[in-house]
């Protein structure tokens, strides 16, 4: 099967099965989305949604969080992965937003990447979810599913290379949704261990390239 045909069939499936899709993180503003995405690194959305309500009750915006110490923030996020580093990043990020952006989350990619604790994946999520831009965030789920389905090749061996390949072949209007399609498919069906192939609507066309599906970079 040619690559173009594979993309066509995969995208048609997701459009039909998940026409309305968004992040499973819970938030009330773009700032809160940014905080939740930073916290979600190497942690489940379920866990993040358990800790953010109380965190946001005390620090609902950048200006209030900028007044908090790392220890203050740590108190609310101690149960997430790498809480010390994340508390440090959030405190510094909030101060940077206040000092450079009047407390508002910027739309520009370079300005997002300048924020403490914000990498390319996080910046892409914010651009897609908050601002509707055609950016593709590549996390472990997107990386794994893209390889297993044959949407990318063995040489696409980094998140950035996968991002470039996916955005080259997915129509612009689908890119903000495609991140969630691949992520949710990886989270609930094409799981890292023991993927549920018998429950997968893509089973017949999937080449099951398990060997190349692990994120190593």
pLDDT digits (tens, 9 = 90+) for 53-92: 999 999 999 999 999 999 999 999 999 999 999 999 999 9
Please state, in angstroms and rounded to a whole number, the distance separating the CA atoms of residues 7 and 178: 11
Domain that holds residue 175: 3-21+136-212
Whether residue 11 sits in one domain with residue 52: no
Whether residue 127 sits in one domain with residue 144: no
Whether residue 74 sits in one domain with residue 144: no
Q: Evaluate whether residue 217 is within a structural domain.
A: no
Which residues contact residue 216 at a Cβ distance below 8 angstroms, ignoring those fewer than 6 apart? 157
pLDDT at 164: 97
pLDDT at 20: 86
DSSP string, 29-95: SHHHHHHHHHHTTTS-HHHHHHHHHHHHHH--SHHHHTTS-HHHHHHHHTTSSSHHHHHHHHHHHHH
Q: Which of 139, 156, 165, 212 is catalytic?
A: 139
Which residue has 């390319």 as its token pair? 120
Whether residue 72 sits in one domain with residue 11: no
Whether residue 124 sits in one domain with residue 72: yes
Q: Which of 2, 16, 45, 121 is catalytic?
A: 121
pLDDT at 193: 87
pLDDT at 216: 43
Q: Evaluate whether residue 38 is within a structural domain.
A: yes
pLDDT in tens, 3-12: 999 999 999 9
Q: Evaluate whether residue 58 is within a structural domain.
A: yes
Question: Among candidates 206, 215, 216, which has minimal Cα distance to 148?
Answer: 206
Q: Evaluate whether residue 70 is within a structural domain.
A: yes
- Determine whether 156 is an active site residue: no
Whether residue 145 sits in one domain with residue 69: no
Out of 80, 108, 131, a domain closes at 131
Out of 77, 103, 131, a domain closes at 131
Q: Evaluate whether residue 146 is within a structural domain.
A: yes
Whether residue 126 sits in one domain with residue 35: yes
Whether residue 39 sits in one domain with residue 16: no
Per-residue pLDDT 10s for the chain (217 aa) are 899 999 999 999 999 999 888 899 999 999 999 999 999 988 899 999 999 999 999 999 999 999 999 999 999 999 999 999 999 999 999 999 999 999 999 999 999 999 999 999 999 999 999 998 999 999 999 999 999 999 999 999 999 999 999 999 999 999 989 999 999 999 999 998 889 999 999 999 999 887 766 654 3
Structural domain count, the chain: 2
Provide the 10 A C-beta neighbour count for residue 84.
12
Whether residue 17 sits in one domain with residue 48: no
Question: Domain containing 100 — which CATH number?
Answer: 1.10.340.30
pLDDT at 53: 97
For the chain, how many residues are written?
A: 217
Out of 105, 131, 157, a domain closes at 131
Q: How far apart are the first and last CA of the chain?
A: 28
pLDDT at 124: 95
Whether residue 127 sits in one domain with residue 62: yes
CA distances from 215 to 143, 146, 161, 164 (A): 7, 11, 12, 16
Question: Domain containing 140 — which CATH number?
Answer: 1.10.1670.10
Provide the 10 A C-beta neighbour count for residue 214.
12
Whether residue 44 sits in one domain with residue 124: yes
Q: Are 136 and 163 in contact (CB under 8 A)?
A: yes
Q: Are 104 and 128 in contact (CB under 8 A)?
A: no
Whether residue 35 sits in one domain with residue 7: no
pLDDT at 101: 97
């Amino acid at each position: 099967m040619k690559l173009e045909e594979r993309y066509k069939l995969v995208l048609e499936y997701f459009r039909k099965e998940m026409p309305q899709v968004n992040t499973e993180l819970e938030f009330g503003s773009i700032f809160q989305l940014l905080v939740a995405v930073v916290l979600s690194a190497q942690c489940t959305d379920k866990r993040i949604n358990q800790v953010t309500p109380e965190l946001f009750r005390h620090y609902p915006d950048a200006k209030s969080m900028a007044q908090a110490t790392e220890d203050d923030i740590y108190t609310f996020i101690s149960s997430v992965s790498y809480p010390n580093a994340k508390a440090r990043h959030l405190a510094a990020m909030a101060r940077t937003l206040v000092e450079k952006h009047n407390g508002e989350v910027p739309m520009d990619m370079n300005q997002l990447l300048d924020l403490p604790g914000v990498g390319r994946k996080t910046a892409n999520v914010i651009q897609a979810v908050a601002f509707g831009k055609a950016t593709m965030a590549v996390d472990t789920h997107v990386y794994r599913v893209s390889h297993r389905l044959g949407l990318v090749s063995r040489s696409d061996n980094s998140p950035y290379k996968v991002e470039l390949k996916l955005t080259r072949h997915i129509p612009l209007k689908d890119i903000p949704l495609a991140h969630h399609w691949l992520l949710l498919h990886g989270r609930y069906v094409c799981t890292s261990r023991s993927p549920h192939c018998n429950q997968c609507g893509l089973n017949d066309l999937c080449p099951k390239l398990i060997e190349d599906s692990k994120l190593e970079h």
